[in-house]
Amino acid sequence: MGRARLALLLLIAAAAAAFFAFDGHHLLRPENLQALLARVQAYYGANPLQTALLFFALYAGVTGLSLPGATAMTLLAGAIFGLLWGTVIVSFASTIGATLAFLASRFLLRDWVQARFGDKLKPINEGVAKEGAFYLFALRLVPAFPFVAINLLMGLTPIRTWTYAWVSLVGMLAGTIVYVYAGTKLGEFRISFGLLAAFALLGVFPLIAKRAMDAIKARRVYARWSTPARFDRNLVVIGAGSAGLVSAYIAAAVKAKVTLVEKHRMGGDCLNTGCVPSKALLRSAKFVQQARKAKDLGIKTATIEFDFADVMERVQRVIRTIEPHDSAERYAGLGVECIQGEARIVSPWTVEITGADGRKQALTTRSIVIAAGARPFVPPIPGIEGMNCLTSDNIWELRKLPARLVVLGGGPIGCELAQAFARLGSKVIQVEMLPRILIREDPEISDMVMQRFTAEGVEVRVNHKAKEFRLEGGRKLLVCEHQGRDVRIEFDQVLCAVGRIANTEGYGLEELGIATTKARTVETNEYLQTLYPNIYACGDVAGPFQFTHTAAHQAWYAAVNALFGSFRTFRADYSVIPWATFTDPEVARVGLNETEAKEKGIAYEASVYRIDDLDRAIADETAHGIVKVLTVPGKDRILGVTIAGEHAGDLIAEFVAAMRHGFGMNKILGTIHIYPTLVEANKYAAGVWKKAHAPQALLRLVERLHAWRRG
Ligand SMILES: Cc1cc2nc3c(=O)[nH]c(=O)nc-3n(C[C@H](O)[C@H](O)[C@H](O)COP(=O)(O)OP(=O)(O)OC[C@H]3O[C@@H](n4cnc5c(N)ncnc54)[C@H](O)[C@@H]3O)c2cc1C
């Protein structure tokens, strides 16, 4: 640390020490204000100018040194100098103090912080460089944001000092007036209407300030558009997948006039290319596997014969059976206007729809919900374009089983399909560049799944980075980098399952300036609003999750906020999000796992129950897997659960309810679970926890009591 910095640090430390030594912090406590006021007022009567100057210097000093007491001094200013002069003195003194604290923070800390956390602070720096004045103004307007914290944090950003000073002065003015006014009532030793009004104003001021900020922001984004005089609809929903269907359903249920636009197939990915076909395929594949393991059930032989094409036709039959649930007819019956066509947002209130026949119509609407979903990501690996790559979009068209199938990707979709195709008879080679498959789960869970895959003949190649696809003499080859050398894998077909990217192009987002995030999803706030407060996004297009149930969950918030946001808004609640990967063993999770708890430094206890001990699982020949519950040390509050095993996705529901509604391991243990069921595993996991928390000293005492009673 340089000399100048050291000197400044010592000066600040000395001033702060003096403040505390002279009992400044006690003096400025609210309960001591009356006494202090009486003394200062007496001095003020005799020396008004001196008092004002002294008060000004003291105020600037206290705030400049980031010492406690600014609020009390603001109230005092009102009581001593009255509303006008109190406001003038506090406004300028607090601006000078804030700027001094800002400069001190910049001088002492900014280089160090930027050198250490520069990459993390980059978006903040960019945001401040672009719109720093506006954000500072927003922070200053709402007194709930701590004055000291703003000074110190803004000092670390690239905002200019002059900008900082004047924006602070203007931004704090409204709050200052309210506090100074409350101070003018301090001297009144009776409860007056004015005093009550002042305190009520203090209470509601943050709310008013927030509303004012929202209005200012909205004016800025809508400035270049003209609002329609009237609206054709309350809500237009773009995309009829899980998110869009639920949004439209809710809107119709609350009697809004809603239009749902779908350019392809009602039901979106989940019904047509995602959850439904994949689960139907997994079921057929599971049956084939069970037949292979007939001996385990005491059946000597069970020969199975099947055509892959029939299996894939069954998948389509399942889709057709479920289709009516998501059909235009059903939704029309519920009160939703369904339009087949491609939607494009042409203004914050206008959606243009191009029908299949090319005819266009424009609908004006108060709000829009974007639920445009996502699509498979095909990475730009050299040569991939010549491989007729399969994805989750087109794999359902296959009628001939690939003899050798390379599955790129070790995530849930890659794992589910790799196992299904292997069970149906393909030679599957699964390629994953990370050290393990299902990387979001704990290593022992990945290992459990990988071991099963290997036992069933799936060749799992972890730490293999796909580098290039080649066609050599009619042979298809994938070249991977593995431990510094090239590995060649020959195959017939390749399934690309390395992730999904949100559909954000081609329907007006760019033209409206609606931004995307680093994860390439539509940027929304916690209310699922985009840049335009009346345009919402939910489901895969918004992220951060890519599940049907989270799409539906978000859809509720998007629809309700879109329709009733002027009265009340709801923050999307992601506190308890469960999911499952439908491999065998199935893997289900809610909340934290051990890996995440360690990464985040969260203390936990793990209670593990092994399902190989469970009566029903033994009877069913499914005695494998675990229930692992993380709890707060010494308490029964659940932090997270991972279940691997048969029907894990169903079993976890009890823990999801526990976390959502705040009951713990004791309550799970105290619930009757039907014997013999797989769900008893949850109770036994709670039993493991209880055993580890048995009151040992009390038990020893009771043991002695029993011995004594036996005589
Ligand atoms: C193989 C696979 C298996 C899966 N398994 C599961 C699972 O077991 N459980 C689970 O929870 N999730 C699963 N998912 C994920 C799940 O399918 C998605 O999270 C879910 O479908 C997202 O719903 P959505 O409404 O956000 O998007 P989508 O279902 O993709 O719907 C978006 C719709 O918007 C339409 N659209 C886009 N742009 C426009 C436009 N401009 N105009 C009109 N229409 C437009 C599209 O045509 C599409 O129909 C799986 C996904 C895949 C691929």
Which pairing describes strands 500-502 and 374-376: parallel, antiparallel, or unpaired? antiparallel
Q: Could you give the 3-state DSSP secondary structure of residue 132?
A: helix
Looking at residue 370, its pLDDT comes to: 98
In whole angstroms, what is the distance from residue 41 CA to residue 689 CA? 64
Distance from the alpha carbon of residue 696 to the mean position of ligand 1, in angstroms: 53
Structure tokens at 450: 């990988």
Cβ of 396 closer than 6 Å to ligand 1, yes or no, is no
- Threshold 0.95, pTM exceeds: no
SS3 per-residue string spanning 348-410: CCEEEEEECCCCEEEEEEEEEEECCCEEECCCCCCCHHHHCCECCCCHHHCCCCCCEEEEECC
Averages of pLDDT over runs of 10 residues in the chain (711 residues) are: 79 81 70 74 85 92 86 88 93 93 89 74 70 78 74 86 90 87 72 66 68 80 94 98 98 98 98 98 98 96 96 98 98 98 98 95 98 97 96 98 98 98 98 98 98 98 98 96 97 98 97 95 96 97 97 98 94 96 98 96 97 98 98 97 98 98 97 98 98 94 95 89
Which string of b and e fits 421-460 if b means at least 16 CB within 10 Å?
bbbbebbbbbbbbeebbbeebbeebbebbbebbeeeebbb
Q: Which residues contact 386 (CB under 8 A, 6 or more apart)?
A: 469, 471
371 pocket-lining for ligand 1 (C-beta < 6 Å): yes
Question: Contact at 8 Å (CB) between 573 and 263?
Answer: no
Positive or negative torsion for Cα 251, 252, 256, 262: positive
Q: Is 155 in the pocket of ligand 1 (CB under 6 A)?
A: no
- 90: tokens are 């506090």
d(CA 188, CA 179): 15
Burial class (CB in 10 A: 0-12, 13-18, 19+), 414: buried
419 Cβ closer than 6 Å to some ligand 1 atom: no
Report which DSSP code applies to 541. Answer: G
Residue pair 251/563 in contact by the 8 Å Cβ criterion:
yes
Name beta bridge partners: 218.
none
Ligand 1 in contact with 245 (CB < 6 A)? Answer: no
Evaluate: CB of 592 within 6 angstroms of ligand 1.
no
Q: How far is CA 164 from the centre of its chain?
A: 32
Residue 52 beta carbon below 6 angstroms from any ligand 1 atom? no
Burial 247-273, CB ≥16 within 10 A → b, else e = bbbbbbeeebbbbbbbbebbbbbbbbb
DSSP for 38-57, written as a single string: HHHHHHHHH-HHHHHHHHHH
Long-range CB contact pairs, 186-191, < 8 A, 24+: 186/33, 186/34, 186/37, 186/75, 186/76, 186/78, 186/79, 187/37, 187/41, 187/79
Ligand 1 pocket: which of 270, 354, 510 to mutate (most atoms within 8 A of CB): 270
Query: Which residue CA neighbors atom 26 of ligand 1 most closely?
Result: 539
Beta bridge partners of 501: 375
| Phi, psi (degrees; rounded to nearest 5) at 490 | -90, 145
Which atom number of ligand 1 is nearest to the Cα of residue 342? Answer: 42
Question: What's the CA gap between 633 and 455, in Å, rounded?
Answer: 37
For residue 540, report the distance from its CA to the centre of ligand 1, in Å. Answer: 7
**Cα 375 to ligand 1 centroid, rounded to whole Å:** 8
| pLDDT in the model for residue 264 | 97
- Residue 551 Cβ inside 6 Å of ligand 1? The answer reads yes
Measured N-to-C along each axis, helices 33-46 and 70-105 cross at an angle, to the nearest 10 degrees, of 80
Q: Which atom of ligand 1 is nearest to the CA of 269?
A: 29
Q: Is 372 in the pocket of ligand 1 (CB under 6 A)?
A: yes
Residue 292 CA, ligand 1 centroid: distance in Å: 34
Length of the chain: 711
Round to whole Å and give the CA distance between 436 and 448: 11
Alpha-carbon span 115 to 113, nearest angstrom: 5
Ligand 1: atom nearest CA of 265 is 49
For residue 338 and ligand 1, the question of a CB distance below 6 A is answered with no
Distances (CA, A) of 300 to 234, 293, 296, 297, 620: 64, 10, 9, 9, 17
For ligand 1, say whether the CB of 275 is within 6 Å of any of its atoms.
Answer: yes
Nearest CA to ligand 1 atom 8: 275
Ligand 1 neighbourhood includes 685 CB (under 6 angstroms)? no
Question: Which amino acid residue places its CA nearest to atom 31 of ligand 1?
Answer: 241
Contact by Cβ (8 Å): 405, 427: yes
Instruction: Give the per-residue pLDDT at 123.
Output: 63
First-residue to last-residue Cα distance in the chain: 77
339 close to 206: Cβ distance less than 8 angstroms = no
Runs of H (alpha helix) within 472-593: 509-512, 548-564
Q: Whose Cα sits closest to atom 33 in ligand 1? A: 239
Ligand 1 atom closest to residue 353's alpha carbon, by position in its atom list: 42
240 lines ligand 1 (CB under 6 A): yes
